[in-house]
Structure 1
Amino acid sequence: MDVVISIFGEGKDLDALQMAARTVAVCFTALIFIRISGRRSFGQRSPFDYVVAILLGATLSRVIVGASPAIPTLAASLVMVLIHRALAWACVHSARLECLAVGVERELFKDGQFDSKQMAAALITRTDVYETARQELHTLDLEEVQLAILERNGQVSLIRKRRDTGNR
C-alpha cells in the first residue's frame, strides 16, 4: 500500500510525478470505461452522449489533480458509464424512451417550403439550412433540395430532388 501511495500520492498534496502517474492511470481507466460504454458515446453524439462525455471528463479530472479520492471517484465514473450503457440498451428496446433520451429527426424543409413550427421547436433558422446547402451541395439556394432534415445528432441532412432521366 505504501508503494501505491508513493507512486500516486494522497490527497491534494501531489508532486509532478504523482500527477503524471495519476494521469497515466486515469487515461487507461477512462479508455476502459469508454470501451464499456460503447462506440455510441463518442460516435453518434446525441445530447445524451455529450452529457456522459462531459461528466466523465469532469469527474476523472478530479482524480488526476487529487481534488477527490481516487477509488470513490473512479467508482462514480464507472457507475456513470454503466448507466449510459443500460440506458442505451433500453433505448434499443423502447422507441418512446429513445425519443426522450436521444430525440427525433425533424423535417425543416420539404417541397420548397420551410416548416416554421419544426424550425422553431429545434431552434434552427433558415440561414442554418442555407449554410448546409452551401457546404454540402455547393449552392446558394435550395432549388435542388427536396427535403432538409434535422438529424438527432444536430446535423442538417439535405435530400436532393430526383432528376428526370428523360426516358418516356
Structure 2
Amino acid sequence: MTFPADEIFGSGTNLSVLQMSSRGVVIFLLALIMIRVSGRRSFGLRTPVDNIISILLGAVLSRAVVGASPFLPVMVTCFIVVGIHRALAWFIARYPSFSSFIEGNKILIYQDGTFLEDNMKRVQICREDVMQGIRRQTTTEDLDQIDHIYIERNGEISAIKKK
C-alpha cells in the first residue's frame, strides 16, 4: 500500500521531477523557519561561525531534496545545527572573551601613513586587497585622508578617515 505522501515526495534516490520539486518546496519553507530561528546574524555578519551554518545547512538540506538521506534525520540534524548556532551567538553576544576566541578580533593593518607588513602577512592580505577595500568603502585612494585601516573579524576591510 502506498501513502499519498510517497506519491508526492517519493522515497530513496529515484525521484521524479514532481517529487524532487515537492521536496524542494518543503525544504525551502523549513529552511526559512530555521533561518528565522537561527537569527539575523546567520546571513548578516558573515563571520566564520555564520559561514559554517550557511554551508552546513545547505549541504545537509540538499540531501533531503535529492533523497540521499531520510527526511526526518536531515531535519533533526539541521535543527540541532541551528540550535548550536543560536547558542554560540548567545555566548558571543554576552561574553567578549568567548567572542574573541570563536570569531577573533579586528587587526590593524595601516596606521600613521604606514602599512603594518607583519599584520598583513598574518592575515594573508596584500596592499592591492587593502586598496580595493579602501576604494569601496571611502571612494578614495588617497591614503593621506586615512587614519587607520583594519581587517575586521568577518574579513572585510574598514578604514577610519582622519578628522
Q: If the TM-score is normalised by the length of the shorter chain, which range does it land in?
A: over 0.9
Q: Distance in 1 between the 2:89 and 2:137 partners? A: 30
In the alignment, is the contact (CA less than 8 A) between 2:47 and 2:103 conserved in 1? yes
Q: What are the within-5 Å matches in structure 2 for residues 143-162 of structure 1?
A: 143-162=144-163
Give the aligned CA root-mean-square deviation in angstroms.
1.3
- Contact 1:108–1:148 (8 Å) recurs in 2: yes
Tell me the matched-pair count. Answer: 162
- Structure 1 partner of 2:74: 73
CA distance in 2 between counterparts of 1:41 and 1:135 reads 24
In the other structure, the counterpart of 1:98 is 99
Q: Secondary structure at the match of 1:61?
A: helix
TM-score, L = length of structure 2: 0.94
Aligned to 2:45: 44
Report the TM-score, using the length of structure 1 for normalisation: 0.91
Per mean C-alpha deviation after superposition, the further-off stretch among 113-122 and 101-110 is 113-122
Q: CA deviation at 1:138?
A: 3.4
Find the aligned partners of 1:9 and 1:138 in 2 and give their Cα distance. 54
Match of 1:139 in 2: 140
2-side partners of 1:137 and 1:89: how far apart? Answer: 33
- The farther-off stretch of 64-73 and 132-141 is 132-141
Pair member with larger Rg: 1
Structure-1 residue corresponding to 2:34:
33
Structure 1: which 5+ runs fail to align?
163-168
Deviation sequence 1:84-132 (CA, Å, 0-9, x none): 0001111122212211222210111011111122211111112212222
Checking the alignment, whether the CA contact within 8 Å between 1:149 and 1:158 is kept in structure 2 is yes
Q: Distance in 1 between matches of 2:36 and 2:139?
A: 38
CA contact (8 A) 2:134 2:158 kept: no
1:121 matched residue in structure 2: 122
User: Which letter does structure 2 place at the counterpart of 1:141?
Assistant: D
Which whole-Å deviations, capped at 9, do the CAs of 1:53-79 have from their partners, x for residues lacking one? 001001001100001100001110110
Superimposed CA distance per residue, residues 25-57 of structure 1 (whole angstroms, 9 cap, x where no aligned partner): 000000000111000000011011001100100
Partner SS state of residue 8, structure 2: helix
Contact 2:134 2:157 in 1 (8 A): no
Long gaps (5+) in structure 2: none
**Equivalent pairs: percent with the same residue?**
41
